[in-house]
Structure 1
Amino acid sequence: MISRRKFLGYSAAAASVPILGSAFGAHTAAAAAPETLKFRLVNNSGTAANAYVVGLHKDSSDGRGVFVKADSSTYFPPRPGGGAEPITENVAIPINGSTEVTVPRMYGARVYFVTDDKLEFLAVQGDGDKAAIAHPSFVNDADPNFGRNWTFAEFTLDPTQIYANISYVDFVAAPIGLKLDHVGGTQEVPGLNGGAVDTIATALRQADGGKWGACVQEANGKVVRVLNPNHRPDDFAGYLEPFVDEVWSKYAGETLIIDSQRGDIGILEGRVEGDQLVFGAERFGKPTSADIWGCNSGPFANNPGSDTEQRKAIVPRLAAAFNRTTLLINNKQPHEEKPETFYKHSITNHYARVVHENLPDGRGYAFAYDDVSANPSEDHSGKVNHGEPNLLTITLNRLR
């Protein structure tokens, strides 16, 4: 299983300063990946657009915030002496039809698109003499980017491979698609169809008595994006708790089996003891709705330095099963999971359900552990990756 968390090195949920971290992952080829890779940026939105290629430079020993400019040169914002400072360098890449840029090794990186406007970024203090980059915010309506039509894809290019994905972990906005040409073939993730955002917004407004309309975000009277419920915690406080209670009741008298999908760990068996779900030495308290949506708090908190390998294997599979609300119908996770049974409980992650229903091939990250699957040939996450890439094409489609 190839994880966006491992490759991107930071959580997109902050939508501000990326956290420095390792982006190295599994090899897909014996040869080292190239030092640079050509990106083709395509604008099918029907209107003017700019792109931005931004992330952390090279590897964790460098880790400077960096932009790739329209002429393929790199720009490293200087570290501000005090607070955040606007980046005044022209780092926008105009796209009229399509354009190509050469991208160096980067991690925790994004390709942004914005239509009929430009995006504003800030330089902030990073580690030592390094500058970090504050990205556009979709949760702060005082941010100048808030009402603009923008979206992004995520990628890491490291010594082992290119890894890129279409992420809906934070929100759905103007649709984009990915295509990776590499030695021996092509990988493609079409993403949402043009105009899908309005369809998703309408479906969520109708879900569960209208509760999910809180995820729809408008600017100037039009839908610009639909948010993951993780960014509406007050609106969904207590929402999944009745389902969690049912799960705890079920596994007080039945064994929950987690297949780690690792030969060195194997099968793990759990039961509810008191108020905790126990797998040997690993204990999990009841997660809240926010814990489940975000996959990174409460019992699902990520502590890479101290978590055991067993816990690292359990958390993604347990969090995925809670989001997909399959724990009441399948006690063998994720080994006997079937996509056609996902999100069928009346109390479920309707955001993830509706997003996947509108994806032509069903692939795209709707929550952080959407890459969990029953077998290696099954991909829900919408990623492309290869150790010998030639060209990555990222296409912006129309918002409506």
Structure 2
Amino acid sequence: MTTISDAIARQKKENVLCPPEIGTVETEATDSTLTIELVNQSSSSTVYAYITGLAINNNNSVVLLQADGSTLYYPTNPSSNGSALTEDCAIPLGEPGSTTKVTIPNIAGGRIWFCIEDTLIFLLDVGLTGPALVEPSVNNTSDPNYLKNWDFCEFTYNSSELFANITYVDFVCLPVALTLKSTSGAVKHVGGLPSDGLATVCKGLVAQDAIDGAGWSKLVVENDGTNLRALNPTAGIVFNPVLFEGYWTSYINDVWDKYASASLTVNTQASWGDVSGSTSDLTSLTFDSVGSFIKPSSADIFGGATGAFAAQPTNTDQLLNIGARLDAAFNRSTLLVNSSQPDKEVVSTYYENPITNHYARIVHAANVDGLGYCFPYDDVTPDGGINQCGAVNDSAPASLIVTVGGNVAHPQEPAA
């Protein structure tokens, strides 16, 4: 029986949003609706937004906002896969600098999509408990949206809080920024990329490839000679399975050598507390009485969900927790300089090793505040540290401002 968590996991993996088989019971704390302000800070007068998700208070049904920004559309289960939506869900944003207000209900697995100079195509497949929403994909060249200029941010608005984040886990394309205003007057802001952010990222990937020849330039996708998007390494591997093969081998071997004679401590930041591990043999990193991790492949490290970091049959939750922190440390290349993870992590030491996730390094550097999800566990943060994932949240949200285009991108303003 699938849960909301299962549904969101499938959405992230397959770009398909399905209602779960198991519902949830919500106790009202936040308001039942929220105003979102969509701001066009691109240079185009033709920008459309879409809002999709699972309606928490309507049996977790797939829901989209219609073009008026307030009417809810609950598509019915279609008779065949690949069916079209029956309602217009393209929300026009107006001229550059204009703001369009929309109203959402409580939603899980929510996404706010933007497309410049075109509309997006969402389709419906037959599902078990309701329709499956087929979302745009950058991994499928036959997708009708593949050559369009689009992007999205993520959110969940439930009875406890609003949580939203910008994301580069799959790719970089359009600049998106978030400003969350609380009923208390507090403001949280994630600045995103400036208007030339994609160009900066693509230039950085090409430059890194010229240094190490690892294939970073192959992550740049062009359309008629113009940068369309930059893929993350996992998506790049989808198109070219041998891309980055063996890239991490020498770094992994160095890590195994280091912890053959030293202990690696991982703070689970949960009820399990600290756990310690060492490399007991040529292949395994073992945490006593908990379990072991084999040497990861490049795909394991970039994706964080396969091989070494896949769910294990025993102590599943604890090992997934430890694995998330190990995977973050691999991507940031800090395991050789910090044996207490994620405690004692310092942002300035991230990505300093020549063998690192240079996609994440380049994308973080291109953002006006350095924030944004660049790999699945980019939210791993030492206690009291600054989360790098580019998220905002509040238990009493007044409004959320989502800006697309990057023309006025700026970091969080200092508190008065």
Q: TM-score, normalised by structure 2?
A: 0.88
Q: Give, as a single letter, the amino acid of the residue that structure 1 aligns with 2:121.
A: E
Q: Does 1:271 align with 2:278?
A: yes
How many Å separate the matches in 2 of 1:254 and 1:19? 46
The correspondence of residues 238-317 of structure 1 with structure 2, limited to 5 A, is 238-262=246-270, 264-274=271-281, 275-280=283-288, 281-302=290-311, 307-317=315-325
Q: For each residue in 1:168-200, what CA deviation from the matched residue of structure 2 results, as whole angstroms up to 9, or x when unmatched?
A: 100111101000111221111111111110111
How many Å separate the matches in 2 of 1:179 and 1:220? 34
Q: Give, as a single letter, the amino acid of the residue that structure 2 aligns with 1:65.
A: V
Q: Give, as a single letter, the amino acid of the residue that structure 1 aligns with 2:33.
A: T
Aligned residues: 388
Q: What does residue 31 of structure 2 align with?
A: 34
Q: 1:136 to 1:306 in 2, by over 3 A?
A: farther
Q: What does residue 90 of structure 1 align with?
A: 88
C-alpha contact (below 8 Å) 2:63/2:74 kept by paired residues = yes
Q: What does residue 60 of structure 2 align with?
A: 63
How many Å separate the matches in 1 of 2:99 and 2:6? 27
* Offset of residue 344 of structure 1: 1.1
Q: Does 1:219 align with 2:210?
A: no
Unaligned runs of 5+ in 1: 25-29
Q: Give, as a single letter, the amino acid of the residue that structure 1 aligns with 2:256.
A: W
How many Å separate the matches in 2 of 1:384 and 1:8? 22
Q: 1:339 to 1:20 in 2, by over 3 A?
A: farther
Q: What does residue 81 of structure 1 align with?
A: 79
Q: What does residue 137 of structure 1 align with?
A: 137
How many Å separate the matches in 2 of 1:302 and 1:356? 28
SS in structure 1 at match of 2:160: coil
C-alpha contact (below 8 Å) 1:10/1:19 kept by paired residues = no
How many Å separate the matches in 1 of 2:205 and 2:262? 34
* Offset of residue 298 of structure 1: 1.0
Q: Does 1:124 align with 2:128?
A: no
C-alpha contact (below 8 Å) 2:343/2:383 kept by paired residues = yes
Q: Give, as a single letter, the amino acid of the residue that structure 2 aligns with 1:217.
A: V
Q: Give, as a single letter, the amino acid of the residue that structure 1 aligns with 2:293.
A: F
C-alpha contact (below 8 Å) 1:70/1:101 kept by paired residues = no
| Correspondence for 2:372 among 342, 364, 373 | 364
Q: For each residue in 1:53-73, what CA deviation from the matched residue of structure 2 results, as whole angstroms up to 9, or x when unmatched?
A: 0111216x8222110123301
Q: 1:374 to 1:354 in 2, by over 3 A?
A: same
Q: For each residue in 1:119-172, what CA deviation from the matched residue of structure 2 results, as whole angstroms up to 9, or x when unmatched?
A: 0000112223x1110001111121111111101010011111111000110011
C-alpha contact (below 8 Å) 1:42/1:394 kept by paired residues = yes
* Offset of residue 80 of structure 1: 1.4
Q: 1:42 to 1:302 in 2, by over 3 A?
A: farther
C-alpha contact (below 8 Å) 1:149/1:173 kept by paired residues = yes
Q: For each residue in 1:283-340, what CA deviation from the matched residue of structure 2 results, as whole angstroms up to 9, or x when unmatched?
A: 111111101111111121146x964442132111111000001111111111011111
How many Å separate the matches in 1 of 2:11 and 2:100? 26
How many Å separate the matches in 2 of 1:146 and 1:307? 40
Q: What does residue 44 of structure 1 align with?
A: 41
SS in structure 2 at match of 1:206: helix
SS in structure 1 at match of 2:35: strand
Q: 1:322 to 1:392 in 2, by over 3 A?
A: same
SS in structure 2 at match of 1:178: strand
Q: 1:8 to 1:107 in 2, by over 3 A?
A: farther
* Offset of residue 242 of structure 1: 2.0
Unaligned runs of 5+ in 2: 408-416
How many Å separate the matches in 2 of 1:126 and 1:103? 24
How many Å separate the matches in 1 of 2:222 and 2:23? 34
Q: For each residue in 1:228-283, what CA deviation from the matched residue of structure 2 results, as whole angstroms up to 9, or x when unmatched?
A: 00112221122112211211121112111111123x32211001112211112211
